[in-house]
Structure 1
Amino acid sequence: MEIANLLSDIILIVTGAWIVFQLSRFLFRSVRFLYNALYGDIVLTNPRTGKSVTLGRYHRNGLSQEIQDILD
């Protein structure tokens, strides 16, 4: 019985650590995306392949000319 309790505790700890890791990864990516959207290029990255696409530059003044042309 003692071994079963120990195994269940280990499984709970590993599962909790995995959930915390995934949430922190998600928050880091969200903050990085928002920072890039405000102060740099908007870059979408595929996490599996590592390939990224730059959508344009967003400046503090407003939208860049490329995006303005698309919107007009």
Structure 2
Amino acid sequence: MTQRVLSRLGRIGPTAAFLGVGALTFLGLVLPGALGAAVLLALAAGAGWLLAQTWHLHPSRARVMRLVVLGLVVAVAVVKLT
């Protein structure tokens, strides 16, 4: 299952992936309250899963930056909940 999902994600072009994540982020920021927070948390969960699957492929600096960005998305979602 995991390999199928990673294989499908690997076929997505970088521009399409960037625009898709950007659209979800924008949607999460624009939607009010819990709905926007749910979109952001779902995005963070997907990015966290992808990071966990590809952890060994990234250098340590890239891992730290990805964790920082992931933490910021979760923090924004928590702020939207309150």
TM-score normalized by structure 2?
0.31
> Could you state the TM-score of these two structures normalised by the residue count of structure 1?
0.34
Which structure has more relative contact order (CA 8 Å, sep 6+)? It is: 2
Judging by fraction of residues, say which structure has more helix. Answer: 2
